[in-house]
Amino acid sequence: MNQSCETPTIRLIQDVAQKGVINMARDESLLTFVGDGQSPPTLRLYEWSEPTISLGYFQKYAEFDRLSPPAGDMPVVRRQTGGGAILHDRELTYSLVLPTDYPPIRNKPTHLYDIVHRALIATLENYAVSAVLCGTSDDSGPTRGPFFCFARRHALDVVISDEKLAGSAQRRTRHAVLQHGSIVVERRFKQQPAAVTGVSVDTLRKQFPTEISDPLNVEIKSGDWTASELENAAKLTVKYAGDEWTRRT
């Protein structure tokens, strides 16, 4: 007798716009709960309630201190992930948290960069936006490279006419991987990259999960936070709002 295999699922959280400290705390909370097996694999889509600079894990705070206004006057948070700083404003940010033994990325978490970025390219193709993978890398690394992420180049970055549109960064624990990245829909500051013109955040929120489900061979199902996840995130906001974490290097 044939036994049917149920398609694995990923929970989709369509989150509201929040301040940077809350966004970072919620991402870390998901990493902890998915890693502990208390929460399912999760795709979170979110926005930022105010223009904010996020520093990569290894960046020196003094680099932010040297920024000129308006970027230098913005709230600043430090991410769990590496890479360069990002000026978050009018964009859609995604975070995808999976167990490290998840089939498509088992033994190769970096494959998730390729999966997600090709899904973004496919999303944009639906709206006649021509984006491609960069194909070449510069000398940037976790501890070196231009201050802003979008001035760096990696072969798997998404570009439009050679301008970087999207990149991603990861944080890995023994049991889970967090990958997140930003898709700018309107450029208001010179430190921001190319923007997707003619495609709204609402459109990306609807189409992107559809395009990412096939390469991951999963069903994306709308869900919500658990009380425990939010309680943990609320505790973590103290960390992200404090100097000990933000100015740590």
Residues annotated as catalytic are: 149
Q: Is 222 in a helix, a strand, or coil?
A: strand
**Structure tokens of 174?**
């023994």
Q: Which residues are within 8 A (CB) of 142 and not within 5 positions of it... i.e. 6 or more apart?
A: 56, 57, 58, 82, 83
Helices 20-35, 227-241: crossing angle, 10 deg rounding: 130
- Please give the span between the terminal C-alpha atoms of the chain, in angstroms, as a whole number: 60
Q: Both tokens of residue 99?
A: 């167990």
Distances (CA, A) of 49 to 53, 74, 212, 219, 242: 12, 12, 26, 30, 19
Under a CB-based contact definition with an 8 Å cutoff, are residues 209 and 96 in contact? no
* 93 DSSP β-pair partners: 46, 182
Which two structure tokens, joined as six digits, stand for 248?
């740590």
DSSP string over 95-147: EEEEETT-GGGTT-TTHHHHHHHHHHHHHHHTTT---EE-----S-BTTBS-S
Listed in order, strand segments (DSSP E) in the chain are 9-14, 42-46, 52-55, 76-78, 86-88, 90-99, 132-133, 158-160, 163-166, 168-172, 176-186, 219-222
